[in-house]
Amino acid sequence: MANQDAPGFADNLIHLPRNVWRSLFRNPLPSSDLGRSQTTFSNFFLHVHPVKTHANSLRPAYTFGLGVIAFSLFIILAATGGLLMFYYVPSVEQAHNRMLDLSGTVAFGVLLRNMHRWAAHGMVAIVFLHMCRVFFTGSYKRPREFNWVLGVVLLLITLFLSFTGYLLPWDQLAFWAITVGTSIAGYAPVVGEGMRFLLLGDRVVGQEALLRFYVLHVAVLPAVLLALVGVHFWRIRKDGGLSRPEGSDLPEAQKNFPPALEGKREGLAPAAKTQKTKTFGVMGLVRGPFNKVGNTPDNMVFSWPNLFVAELFCFALAVLVVLVAALLFNAPLEAPANPLHPPNPSKAPWYFLGLQEMVSYSAFWGGVGIPTLFVIGLLLVPYLDRSPKGVGVWFSRHRLLANSVFVLFLLVNLVLIIVGTFFRGPNWSLVVPW
Amino acid sequence: MSPTQESQDTRLSRRFVLTLTSLMGLMGASGIAALSNFLFFKPRVTYGEPSRFRVGPPESFPLGTRLPLGSQRVTLVRGEAGVAAISNTCTHLGCVVSTTEIGFDCPCHGSRYDADGTVLGGPAPRPLSWFKVSLAPNGEIEVDTSTPVPQGTYLAV
Amino acid sequence: MRAGLAIISLIVLAIHGVVFYKQFYAPWQDYQKEYFTRAVKISDNAAVKATLRARTPAIEQTIVRSFGPERVDRCRTCHIAADDVRFAKADQPLRTHPQIPGHKFDTFGCTICHDGQGRAVDAKHAHGEGEDWPWPVLPKELIQANCVQCHTEPGWAYAPLVNEGRQLFFQRACYTCHTIAGLSYGSIGPELTEVGRTRRFDYILHKIQDPRATNPTSTMPKQDLTDRQRMALTAFLKSQQGSLVSRAPLTQFVAKQERRPEWLPVERIVGAQAQALETMPPAERGRVLLPQIGCLSCHKLDDRDGKVGPELAFTAAQRDRAWLMTHFHDPKSVVPGSLMPPYPLPEAAFDSLSLYLLSRKPPAVPADPAAQFQMLCARCHGARGQGDGVIANYLDPKPRDLSKAAFMKTKSRDRLIHSLRYGVAGTSMAPWGGVLDEAAAGKLIDWVLAGVTQGSAVRRVERKVPRANPVPFSPASVARGEAIFLDRCWGCHGKKADGHGPNAESIVPRPRNLRNTPFIRSVAYARLHESIQYGVQGTAMPAAGFDFALDEKSIGDLINYIYSLNRLGSAPAPANQVARKEK
């Protein structure tokens, strides 16, 4: 009793691949503006992005893609880290041996470990540079204050992630770096020793510390980081996208944007053609900056494909650099940790060397006081500098003071780190490295 | 008031009370949970050397004793004022100092301390810690390396 | 909904509060607080009082790493007064622990002597109660089993129960069935080298008390032991933990590589006496040796009776030296169903034992058949001859139930007298011809038939059966016989013809073990043929000749198959009983 409308079983079987594909990918690859909107709006992985992005945000020389690179590095770290977890055991007896196995018998063990290490160092540096970019372009100003605060918190979490991961190989480098680092934490008044005890799970760095650092590094901190990164991205949307200079919405401003975008004019909203018909639905009432829909010149381009290509490029670049670094340079693995044999000097990881250098002058101020003040300063920056001028431009003249102060702090930090890395020898005495 | 308004008011206030109660209950539970988390993270036992231990009756330590106890990293001294315990852990990078007649020497990076643990030379940033010494019920001296005391604190026995 | 939410919230809050509160009031905290209060009261030293007042409850632990794998002992969290001598009369857990010189708690912890679960801080788990902890806290008598892990000198004065247990291990013949590395070799029971570590002490105790309680098919005899002896054996076995903590890894490694010895040196069993034994004449040596090596934990001799094996007093009348030596070396070769393990002793020891047993004049046998029956037969066949004697359960095949007329009255008198006087090869039925001559034996049999056997309306029928196998022995005949066997016989006799077929459990008497070579060899062809063709009345053996339509040739094939199982290439000579002694 086969009905023309209802397909028979044989038909279902024949058309199985097509039907499966279609049930998965219900929208075709976009070829029209409507398609572009739909894809960005309704895809699970893409829908945190806006349907249209401002052309200024896509300028490489504006952001250098630092934020996306940082996130790409995080993905690389999560992937390589997850793989490394299959062979690593957080026990003081086994950890170092497992690291040796990873470097020896595990297929791609060396590559994965190197990738993880260099991506980790890279992420700390890139996150820091991203913060610099945001500062120098004044992008922390209203309405983006809270996003900046989130960013500072994310920086701290990144540092903490790197710190906790540093201990896991359980070699001399790891053990003593963390011993020094946690000793610095112990200098805080009143709560210092207590916090150190809580962090280490014991009075000295040992099995408890290894276990706690491991749990923090593979579970707690990545989860917190992911959650806050999610909020960070959401905030970008709510704040109206990345910051841009005044006047970048005007048609004249188009000349500032890369020729490539202009030339392709892919999906670029034509300045003249204004249609009053709406091409996508608004899902809720939005207060604050909003994108006018299709009837004013706004220098917005469709996210598909412009934004996504740019993001993919950043990701690929991150992968390339990490791969090349991993192939050229091996992550260090020193002798197994020996609590009775401190190397002289014992140095913290490079991002804390500035701290350690300061500590050698004053334990409290160098290790606790100044860093705390610095972090508080960072957090308060958007609430203390509320002038709306100079946003969206690098080194705007309106912000000479702020930028100079920040550059000074950068330079001091850099100098301290360089001194700590190259110019300090046994007993923390000054040495010349050549 | 009209009946509907009255009943609306009652309903509102009942709703309010119930909501408030739920909020208090759940927030209170969260608060207790947070406190419990803190207690959870604070370890109640550690697996290294015990920080509180007994070393023997006071008679075993005659005047002038300077006895290093290797694994517990403490030196027991007997002065005229009584018994004290000085840490053997160098404040520079954590090596075990050797106990001499007149003080302590660190073999790792050359720090030197006098008999009371004050820094005489070398890279050590702080003097050696002194630890709490007390008398246990069975008459033995008990040292507690988790409780530092000011330099010069003796237990009179 | 809101109301429900409010109620749930309040309950959740209450639970959080209660759980949080209880954190601070665990029983161990209460015990410690009680101790601090009481200790302050009875203190007279201000410094001590100050320390106690400042103390807050904390978990007390000792980590022991120098004696084997790491132990963490938190017993003193509750037993906080263990080293405070003023609490000697207090109730547990606040009672003082006796001072043992040289054994500081901080060095040894607690579980290394007492067992128990050191890491727990509540009583139930710390004492190892329940099934999940293999080392519950030991009763006081058994602590010495842990002492000897370090104090390994043999005969150490402070482990009297362990020493006694070691003696019993040999005296009660445990060593013949169980292996303990470096001490004994036995392949019948499980290895006991590490039993102290793998089994709970109460399991060991109950197993010795009643071997079949947890394992109904166990062949371990239930020995007559006093409570103290049982405890001694348990202490000794608990001390067998496989690796003594004080032995260096190299020593342990070498010990594990030791090959199984052919026999044990006698010194190991009798200790210092071995020297004296050397100087004695052999029979005398046998007399001294016999009670010490475990024979009497099964057999009966004089006033000692293990109630597992036959009486030894009549050996001189029943056996000769050759039989005894064979039996010592491998009891199963003469009685395949025997429980007796092969004794791992040197040849000289067997010599002495044989000489001694053969030198003992058998006791005088009374003239009255009833008294004879009680003296000679009742041990196996039971006081009323029903096959339920004291040792019947340990014999395979079980002693015949003489009260069944269906069996007894259908066998010829001559056959019964023959079995009595010459024994039944391959079974525990010994030849009594040494103490009963033809007339006496006949009298006894008559008495049994009249008094023991119940029922009368049974007649013996003469059967006509070939005296020799009509079918010559050949592989083809054996193959045919096997086919018939697997078609008809295995249900009772078992696929391996060992009497353990699926039906065997419900049949009394049990189907014959057809691999009992001494037995098969001793039986004339005619009897085998008759049993198969006409069945065996008084047993479940059916008349296969009729029921299964087996003709003479088929039965011949079947019997050839049975001979092949026993490696008897052709029909054995009819008169081939085991050596007997004529009176």
Residues A123 and A77: beta-carbon distance below 8 Å: yes
- Taking alpha carbons only, the member of B54, B24, B16 closest to residue B138 is B54
Mean pLDDT, rounded, for A313-342: 92
Asked which of A292-306, A386-400, C46-60, C282-296 is least confident by mean pLDDT, the reply is A292-306
Cα separations in angstroms, A389 against A239, A258, A408, C563? 17, 24, 21, 114
Asked if the C369-452 domain carries CATH number 1.10.760.10, the reply is yes
Average pLDDT across chain A, whole number: 86
Contacts of B137 in chain C (CB under 8 A): 39, 43, 48, 51-52, 84, 86
State residue A262's pLDDT score.
31
SS3 assignment, position A278: coil
Residues A210 and A170: beta-carbon distance below 8 Å: yes
Task: Give the max Cα distance, chain A.
Answer: 95
Number of domains in chain A: 1
Peptide bond into B68 cis (omega under 30): no
Contacts of C97 in chain B (CB under 8 A): none
Q: Which residue of A has its CA nearest to B49?
A: A203
Cα separations in angstroms, A403 against A141, A180, A291? 14, 33, 30
Residues C225 and C164: beta-carbon distance below 8 Å: no
Contacts of A342 in chain B (CB under 8 A): 93-95, 108
Instruction: Note the Cα C456 to chain centre separation in Å.
Output: 41
The residue among C361 and B121 whose pLDDT is bigger is C361
Q: Which residue of C has its CA nearest to B27?
A: C13
Neighbours of chain A (3+ CB pairs under 8 A): B
DSSP designation for C63: E
Question: Which one of 1.10.10.10, 1.10.760.10, 3.40.50.300, 3.60.110.10 gives the CATH number of domain C146-247?
Answer: 1.10.760.10
Distance, in Å, from the CA atom of A424 to the CA atom of A427, rounded to the nearest integer, reads 8
State whether C84 and B50 contact (CB < 8 Å): no
Neighbours of chain B (3+ CB pairs under 8 A): A, C
Contacts of B39 in chain A (CB under 8 A): none
CB atoms within 10 A of CB A429: 11
Q: Please give the structure tokens belonging to residue B111.
A: 């720090």
Instruction: Tell me the ipTM for this assembly.
Output: 0.78
| Total H helices, total E strands in chain C | 31, 4
Those residues with Cβ within 8 angstroms of residue B28's Cβ, 6 or more apart along the chain or in another chain? C13, C16
Q: With 90 as the cut, is the pLDDT of residue A72 above it?
A: yes
What is the full per-residue pLDDT of chain C (583 aa) written as tens digits? 888 899 999 999 999 999 998 888 889 999 999 999 999 999 888 888 888 888 889 999 999 988 888 999 999 999 999 988 889 999 989 999 998 998 988 889 999 999 999 999 999 999 998 878 889 999 999 999 999 998 888 889 999 999 999 999 999 999 999 988 878 888 888 999 899 999 999 999 999 999 988 888 888 988 889 999 999 999 999 999 986 655 677 777 776 677 666 778 888 888 778 888 888 888 899 999 998 888 999 999 999 998 999 999 999 999 999 999 999 989 999 999 998 998 888 888 999 999 999 999 999 999 999 999 999 999 999 999 999 999 998 999 999 999 999 999 989 899 999 999 999 999 999 999 999 999 999 999 999 999 888 887 677 888 889 988 999 999 999 999 999 999 999 999 999 999 999 999 899 899 999 999 999 999 999 999 999 999 998 899 999 888 888 999 999 999 999 999 998 876 554 444 433 333 3
User: At which residue do the structure tokens 């912000």 appear?
Assistant: A399
Those residues with Cβ within 8 angstroms of residue C315's Cβ, 6 or more apart along the chain or in another chain? C324, C357, C358, C360, C362
DSSP designation for C252: H
Q: Which residue of A has its CA nearest to B97?
A: A340
Annotate C541-579 with DSSP letters as a single string: ---HHHHS---HHHHHHHHHHHHHHTT--SPPPS--PPP
State whether A363 and B125 contact (CB < 8 Å): yes
State whether C43 and B137 contact (CB < 8 Å): yes
**Which residues 110-139 of B have a C-beta within 8 angstroms of A?**
110, 122-123, 125
Those residues with Cβ within 8 angstroms of residue C497's Cβ, 6 or more apart along the chain or in another chain? C485, C489, C490, C513, C514, C515, C562, C565
State whether B109 and A344 contact (CB < 8 Å): yes
Contacts of B110 in chain A (CB under 8 A): 427
Q: How many residues does chain C have?
A: 583
Asked which of A250-259, A335-344, B24-33, C405-414 is least confident by mean pLDDT, the reply is A250-259
- Taking alpha carbons only, the member of C499, C494, C535 closest to residue C516 is C499
Superfamily of domain C475-565: Cytochrome c-like domain (1.10.760.10)
Q: With 90 as the cut, is the pLDDT of residue A133 above it?
A: yes
- Taking alpha carbons only, the member of C209, C202, C190 closest to residue C235 is C202
Q: Please give the structure tokens belonging to residue C127.
A: 């004492």
Q: With 70 as the cut, is the pLDDT of residue A290 above it?
A: no
- Taking alpha carbons only, the member of A210, A297, A199, A191 closest to residue A254 is A297
Q: Give the number of C-alpha atoms closer than 13 A to the C-alpha of residue C180, restricted to the C-beta side.
A: 21
Residues C384 and C316: beta-carbon distance below 8 Å: no
The residue among C214 and A66 whose pLDDT is bigger is A66
The residue among C2 and A121 whose pLDDT is bigger is A121
Percent of chain A residues past pLDDT 70, beyond the cut: 89
Cα separations in angstroms, C243 against A305, A375, C154, C240, C260? 71, 59, 16, 8, 18
- On whether residue A186 sits in a domain, the answer given is yes
Q: Give the number of C-alpha atoms closer than 13 A to the C-alpha of residue A239, restricted to the C-beta side.
A: 20
Q: Which residue of C has its CA nearest to B44?
A: C59
Q: Give the number of C-alpha atoms closer than 13 A to the C-alpha of residue C135, restricted to the C-beta side.
A: 20
The residue among B112 and A269 whose pLDDT is bigger is B112
Superfamily of domain C266-359: Cytochrome c-like domain (1.10.760.10)
State residue C575's pLDDT score.
44
- On whether residue A201 sits in a domain, the answer given is yes
Query: Degrees (nearest 5) of the Cα angle A391, A392, A395?
Result: 80
- pLDDT, tens only, A32-42: 888 888 888 88
- pLDDT, tens only, A253-285: 777 776 544 323 444 444 434 444 444 444 444
**Which residues 339-358 of A have a C-beta within 8 angstroms of B?**
339-340, 342, 344, 346
**Which residues 73-132 of B have a C-beta within 8 angstroms of C?**
none
Residues C193 and C240: beta-carbon distance below 8 Å: yes
**CATH code of the domain in which A365 resides:** 1.20.810.10
Instruction: Note the Cα A361 to chain centre separation in Å.
Output: 32
The 3 state secondary structure assigned to chain B is: CCHHHHHHHHHHHHHHHHHHHHHHHHHHHHHHHHHHHHHHHCCCCCCCCCCEEEEECHHHCCCCCEEEECCCCEEEEEECCEEEEEECECCCCCCECEECCCEEECCCCCCEEECCCCEEECCCCCCCCEEEEEECCCCCEEEEEEEEECCCCCECC
Query: Degrees (nearest 5) of the Cα angle A410, A187, B50?
Result: 140
- On whether residue A96 sits in a domain, the answer given is yes
Distance, in Å, from the CA atom of A139 to the CA atom of A385, rounded to the nearest integer, reads 11
State whether B47 and A208 contact (CB < 8 Å): yes
State residue A305's pLDDT score.
84
β-pairing, B66-69 vs B82-87, is unpaired
Backbone angles phi, psi at A403, to 5 degrees: -65, -40
The 3 state secondary structure assigned to B125-137 is: CCCCCEEEEEECC
CB atoms within 10 A of CB A265: 10
- On whether residue A181 sits in a domain, the answer given is yes
State whether C48 and B15 contact (CB < 8 Å): no
State residue B108's pLDDT score.
74
- pLDDT, tens only, A165-206: 999 999 999 999 998 888 888 888 888 888 999 999 988 899
> What residues make up the domain containing A88?
53-245+307-428
Neighbours of chain C (3+ CB pairs under 8 A): B
User: How many interchain CB pairs under 8 A, A with B?
Assistant: 45
The residue among A343 and C340 whose pLDDT is bigger is C340
- CB-nearest to B93 from A204, A207, A346 is A346
Those residues with Cβ within 8 angstroms of residue A430's Cβ, 6 or more apart along the chain or in another chain? A423, A424
State residue A268's pLDDT score.
45
Distance, in Å, from the CA atom of B153 to the CA atom of B132, rounded to the nearest integer, reads 8
Asked if B10 has any chain C CB less than 8 Å from its own CB, the reply is no
State residue A248's pLDDT score.
79
The residues with which B86 forms a beta bridge, in sequence order, are: B75, B130
Asked if A428 has any chain B CB less than 8 Å from its own CB, the reply is yes
Task: Give the max Cα distance, chain C.
Answer: 109
The 3 state secondary structure assigned to C266-311 is: HHHHHCCHHHHHHHCCHHHHHHHHCCCCCHHHCCEECCEECCCCCE
Q: Please give the structure tokens belonging to residue C240.
A: 């067998």
State whether B21 and C9 contact (CB < 8 Å): yes
Asked if chain C contacts chain B via 3 or more Cβ pairs within 8 Å, the reply is yes
Contacts of A363 in chain B (CB under 8 A): 125
**Which residues 99-138 of C have a C-beta within 8 angstroms of B?**
106
The residues with which B77 forms a beta bridge, in sequence order, are: B66, B84
- On whether residue A252 sits in a domain, the answer given is no
Contacts of C8 in chain B (CB under 8 A): 22, 25
Asked if B93 has any chain A CB less than 8 Å from its own CB, the reply is yes
State whether C10 and B39 contact (CB < 8 Å): no
- CB-nearest to B18 from C2, C52, C74 is C2
Q: What beta strand segments (E) does C31-145 contain? A: 62-64, 71-73
Domain ranges of chain C: 49-137, 146-247, 266-359, 369-452, 475-565
Q: Give the number of C-alpha atoms closer than 13 A to the C-alpha of residue C147, restricted to the C-beta side.
A: 20
**Which residues 191-230 of A have a C-beta within 8 angstroms of B?**
197-198, 201-204, 206-208
C-alpha dihedral sign at C43, C49, C51, C56:
positive
Q: Please give the structure tokens belonging to residue B107.
A: 């073999």
- On whether residue A264 sits in a domain, the answer given is no
- On whether residue A381 sits in a domain, the answer given is yes
Q: How far is B38 from chain A (nearest CA, A)?
A: 9
Contacts of B51 in chain A (CB under 8 A): 203
- Would C146-247 and C475-565 be classified into the same CATH topology? yes
Cα separations in angstroms, B47 against A207, B51, C73? 8, 10, 11
